[in-house]
Amino acid sequence: MNKTADFDSVTQCLTNHDMVVDGAEIHGMMCGMLCGGMSLSEQQWLEVLQDTMNQGQTLDKPVAECLQNLFNQTCQQLVDGQFGLVLLLPDDSSPINDRGLALINWVQGFMAGFGLYQQKLSNCSDDVREVLEDFSDIARMEEPMNDDEESEQALFEVIEYVKISSLLCFNELGQSLLDDQQDTPSVH
């Protein structure tokens, strides 16, 4: 099962296994952990998701496989360096308020995941702190949006901002594959 993970397939997998989160929130949390400094090769992330998203219960095998696929895809997008990160949100044909709510869930997940790995904001640049303040504002958005061109454009711009800002956090605090390989002892 190595097809590209998308919002509908991940959310359906979670729903089928009685999980009360959507794909956006889980993906946001993964991205937050990685952007906050979690190693790309760390395998604890699945346990963290079990604890936070599934009351500590072991995830059913199809869910674990689905999330492993999503995790691998996310790592690949983050290290790609081509602004390749794709937020796991409903596609553009979904109602605008569904996409807006998913974005809020994504940002809340990101902040939760980021906080697990980056407790000291004093270690972060002003840019990263500003991103987290903005994300906090986005996470509190509640207004239903009008289904018009102006709202579509505004939502598009916020999604792009969240994507670029996440990459900024990853570039500052995330670990590259090279960092991961430096953990292994080397012979000089």
Phi, psi of 118 (to 5 degrees): -140, 75
Which residue segments constitute the domains of the chain, with CATH numbers given? 7-178 (1.20.120.740)
Q: What is the dihedral of CA 99, 69, 116, 80, to 10 degrees?
A: -80
81 φψ region: left (φ > 0), alpha (ψ -120 to 50), beta (else): left
Measuring CA to CA, how many Å separate 18 from each of 50, 105, 161? 13, 18, 32
DSSP conformational letter for 174: S
Instruction: Per-residue pLDDT tens, the chain, 188 aa: give them.
Output: 456 889 999 999 999 998 888 999 999 999 999 999 998 887 788 888 888 887 778 889 999 999 999 999 999 999 887 778 999 999 999 999 999 999 999 999 999 999 998 877 887 899 999 999 999 999 998 878 898 999 999 999 999 999 999 999 999 998 765 555 444 443 44
